[in-house]
Amino acid sequence: MARKPIAKPAARGGDKAAAKPPAKAPGAPTRAATGSPSKTRVKARTNVGIRPHAPAFDAPTDTRAPRAAPSSPRALDRVTMIPALPPRPREGHKATFGHVLVLAGSYRYTGAAVLTARATLRSGAGLVTLGCPKSAHAAIAAHLLCEMSLPLADAAPGVFAPDAVSEALDWAERANAVALGPGIATDTPAMRFAQDMAVFCPLPMVIDADGISALVGAAQRLEWAEGRRVLTPHPGEAARLLSCSTAEVMADREGAAIRIARETNSIVLIKGAGTIVTDAERVYVNASGNPGMATAGSGDVLTGVIAALLAQGMDPFDAACLGAHLHGRAGDLAARALGEHGMIATDILESLPLAFRDHATARA
């Protein structure tokens, strides 16, 4: 089936004022919650919220109406059942299991891109294309064996340029899901690239790390994103989105996640011991994982896991819940074999197939 062409953002003109988004379309459909076979009712907390800011970067004109935000119930469904793995039909081929476009890496953070791309394949995706800044391409591509690579326009010193958005959107037409942000750095050109991709790409997308930094002061623009978004901040990144302190987020991680999800119409996963996943209508608290996972690159692996599940057709909330569980389970398997003190992100990565196998076996 032919893909619908992806609308490109308007070229940035001389006017530096951010374009105001249109008013919400009356009668816009509201996304319904899918529920869960095992759940109880909990109170939604409301003590934190995103404070409005002017966008930090130039915002191209967007004439589309925003997706309707989810309803705001007084109580949320607490999900306790971990979703099943996506099916693997006997007659399946590479395209059957999804194609992930990873947009990651920079001159400073080459490893983040490699970890994310490799994790997508270890999590069942059939294909992955890793888009990275052109001047960092050689260093990143040297570590790729099974993944495809795509050099995109960059700005000195080796970070994505805003001009790369159009080509990245063209490549997105060949994919089923996008992972955006690991290691792209916080230089202004990369932030502008990430912000435009987050809004204009119609595919389901996981946004992590520096991709989340690009949304600080402009996160509410995600209401106009056509595809569903899964945001995976750690508490410090969540605090920047909410314009509050990390201590405030840590005091009420669940409440912070709910507020971000409601304000951005996204699924939010706040990382840490007992990772929180919510879409502002349901909440899941992950029980797998251990302190050995508090190591550089662990979050990049999680981004790849969730992106792969999205590409295989999972509902975004389910993909985030299952991704958190499998990522933590892989960390537990690595800790059992190696101990927590010496674990690194590649240990979690290499344990993913065993985590997937265990989950499939447990549900058989």
DSSP symbols for 250-275: HHTHHHHHHHHHHHHTSEEEE-STT-
Q: How much is the pLDDT for 67?
A: 52
> Which residues, other chains included, contact 10 with Cβ-Cβ below 8 Å and sequence gap of 6+?
60, 61
278 domain-assigned: yes
Q: Work out the burial of residue 156: count CB atoms within 10 Å of its CB; fewer than 13 is exposed, 13-18 middle, 19 or more buried.
A: exposed
Contact in structure between 309 and 86 (CB atoms under 8 Å): yes
**CATH of residue 198:** 3.40.1190.20
List C-alpha distances in Å: 206 to 19, 29, 197, 305. 25, 23, 11, 10
Q: Does the residue 338 lie in any domain?
A: yes
Q: Give domain status of residue 44, yes or no.
A: no
User: What's the pLDDT at 5?
Assistant: 56
Contacts of 272 (CB under 8 A, 6+ apart): 234, 235, 253
What 3 state SS string does 29-41 have?
A: CCCCCCCCCCEEE
Alpha helix positions (H), 77-187: 110-122, 137-141, 164-172
**Predicted pLDDT at 157:** 83
Please give the share of the chain, as a percent, with pLDDT higher than 70.
Answer: 79
Q: Assess if residue 277 is contained within a domain.
A: yes
Contacts 24+ apart (CB under 8 A), 10-19: 10/60, 10/61, 11/60, 12/58, 12/60, 12/162, 16/58, 18/54, 18/55, 18/58, 18/59, 19/59, 19/60, 19/61, 19/62
Q: pTM above the 0.75 mark?
A: yes
Distance from C-alpha of 145 to C-alpha of 122, rounded to nearest angstrom: 13
Strands of the sheet containing 229-231, edge to edge, are 39-43, 75-79, 282-285, 276-278, 267-270, 229-231, 205-207, 177-180, 99-103, 127-133, 148-152
d(CA 119, CA 115): 6
| 29 falls within a domain | no
Q: What is the pLDDT of residues 90-105, one digit of tens each?
A: 999 999 999 999 999 9
Within-domain flag for 41: no
Give the pLDDT score at 21. Answer: 39
Q: Does the bond joining 157 to the residue before it have cis omega, within 30 degrees of 0?
A: yes
| Contact present, 323 and 120 (Cβ < 8 Å) | no
Bridge partners of 101, per DSSP, are 129, 178
- The residue ranges of the chain whose pLDDT is under 70 are 1-74
Q: Is residue 21 part of a domain?
A: no
* SS3 state of residue 316: helix
Pairing of strands 276-278, 282-285: antiparallel
Q: Is residue 121 part of a domain?
A: yes
Write down the pLDDT at residue 40.
35
Q: Which domain holds residue 254?
A: 77-87+94-363
The pLDDT of residue 126: 98
Determine the 3-state secondary structure of 79 from DSSP: strand
Instruction: Report how many domains make up the chain.
Output: 1
Structure tokens at 340: 């927590």
